[in-house]
Amino acid sequence: METKVFQFFLCIFLVSLPLPLPSHARPSKSKAENLTSFNFIKNLEGCHKGETIKGLQQLKKYLEAFGYLNYSPNKAHASDNNFDDSLEAAVKTYQLNYHLKTTGALDAQTVSQMTAPRCGVPDIVNGTNWILDAISAVTRAFNTWASQTQFRFSQSQNFASADLKIGFYHGDHGDRAPFKGQNGVLAHAFPPEDGRFHYNADYSFTVNPVAGSFHLETVVLHEIGHLLGLGHSRVQDAVMFPSIPAATIKAFPLPSHARPSKPKAENPTSFGFIKHFEGCQKGQTVKGLKQLKTYLKTFGYLNYSPDQTHANDDHFDHALEAAVKTYQLNFHLKTTGTLDAQTVSKMTAPRCGVPDIVNRTN
Ligand SMILES: [Zn+2]
Ligand SMILES: [Zn+2]
């Protein structure tokens, strides 16, 4: 089975989307005003190395801002209108990142891409080319799945027609599953035949996980499972286990050296509010328990009928106890039904946004 995959695009603080998206993936509230316009680049269309044209100085600033150009302060042409070797190299890298022909000149496609609204975070930071790193991590993860299944994947140059679409999103991004900052949800993916997989751009993802960041490839490996129709696993070491701690690498099969090196690595802010409920049990009414009910509903453990008593209050009722027990069962914890320390610790860890229980099957 041949499946066209993804065109990767990166947009961390999303203003509007730089690449065409299918209509259902567009932000519901498109932000019409784009105050920072890159329209000046239109006047530079056709420019190439060797020319001196007014406005190139501004283009250099643009490419510096997004990490493509880094003149030493006293270098010739650092702040003039000359299209020099450094500028040509920067344009080529830009074109490579955006899947354009690497002409090194300001051709129509390049100008059109550069003038599109984009996120303000640089594509290249401290010499690390974010886009290429992310694409290679995603490619490796797809290769891993291809090696373990009958699926075959290839990278599409056309985002709109790709079967699987991957991107970094911030906040409400139009799929009715808004990310809410660093609230513990690292990513989510929709089951077939939807094909969308979104990283939560408020978290830090890296190729080599360090404390406080998450492994790009481990997260995508997990989410591809959802794209292919898999649910969560209860096996802690499995790729499909819902929690993905910071600085942790998982792979198929799990080599011993890939186990979490720092299992207690500090997780950047997560579902920390749950800590407040440690020790809570049935019969109590504790301010904020309503939020815990929402958490358990989100991940499929709790399903009050809308008019049921305690559906939206802070009371630890029978239904909440049952939900906590099911959660504990899924996560191999003692099924006490109370918010004991182990349960709270597990609930506050960063995890995948896809529910563990869907339509009463887990
Ligand atoms: Zn999403
Ligand atoms: Zn998941």
Do the annotations mark residue 347 as ligand-binding? no
Contacts of 256 (CB under 8 A, 6+ apart): none
pLDDT (tens digit, 9 = 90+) per residue, 176-205? 999 988 888 999 999 999 999 999 988 888
Ligand 1 centroid to Cα of residue 44, in Å, is 36
Ligand in nearest proximity to the CA of 350: 2
216 contacts 207 by C-beta, under 8 angstroms:
yes
Ligand in nearest proximity to the CA of 190: 1
Residues forming the active site: 223
Question: Would you say residue 149 has pLDDT above 90?
Answer: no
pLDDT (tens digit, 9 = 90+) per residue, 237-250? 889 899 888 888 88
Do the annotations mark residue 181 as ligand-binding? yes
- Helix H segments across the chain? 56-65, 85-97, 108-115, 130-148, 216-227, 289-298, 318-330, 341-348
Please list the residues that pair with 179 across neighbouring strands: none
Do the annotations mark residue 276 as ligand-binding? no
66 contacts 122 by C-beta, under 8 angstroms:
yes
Ligand in nearest proximity to the CA of 174: 1
Do the annotations mark residue 99 as ligand-binding? no
SS3 88: helix
Torsion of Cα atoms, 153 then 201 then 9 then 147, to 10°: -10
Ligand in nearest proximity to the CA of 200: 1
pLDDT (tens digit, 9 = 90+) per residue, 8-67? 443 322 222 233 333 333 333 333 333 357 899 999 999 999 999 999 999 999 999 888
Distance in angstroms (rounded) separating the CA atoms of residues 138 and 132: 10
Q: What is the DSSP letter of 266?
A: P
Handedness of CA 124, 125, 128, 130 (dihedral sign): negative
Distance in angstroms (rounded) separating the CA atoms of residues 329 and 147: 32
Percent of the chain having pLDDT more than 70? 84
Burial of 230 (0-12, 13-18, 19+ CB in 10 A): middle
pLDDT of residue 265: 40
Distance in angstroms (rounded) separating the CA atoms of residues 25 and 17: 10
Q: What is the DSSP letter of 149?
A: S
Q: Which of 137-169 are b and which e, b meaning 16 or more Cβ less than 10 Å from the residue's Cβ?
A: bbbebbebbeeeeebebeebeebeebbbbbbbb
pLDDT of residue 8: 43
Ligand 1 centroid to Cα of residue 177, in Å, is 6
When the pLDDT of each residue in the chain is averaged and rounded to a whole number, the result is: 81
Ligand 1 centroid to Cα of residue 198, in Å, is 5
Do the annotations mark residue 202 as ligand-binding? no
Which domains are delineated in the chain?
1-16+118-268 (3.40.390.10), 46-106 (1.10.101), 272-348 (1.10.101.10)
Ligand 2 centroid to Cα of residue 66, in Å, is 32
Question: Would you say residue 100 has pLDDT above 80?
Answer: yes
Name residues with Cβ closer than 5 Å to ligand 2, which is an ion. 352, 354
pLDDT of residue 361: 54
Mean pLDDT of 296-301: 90
Do the annotations mark residue 119 as ligand-binding? yes
Ligand 1 centroid to Cα of residue 154, in Å, is 22
Tokens encoding 248: 């942790």
Ligand 2 centroid to Cα of residue 186, in Å, is 9
Ligand 2 centroid to Cα of residue 247, in Å, is 17
Mean pLDDT of 336-345: 93
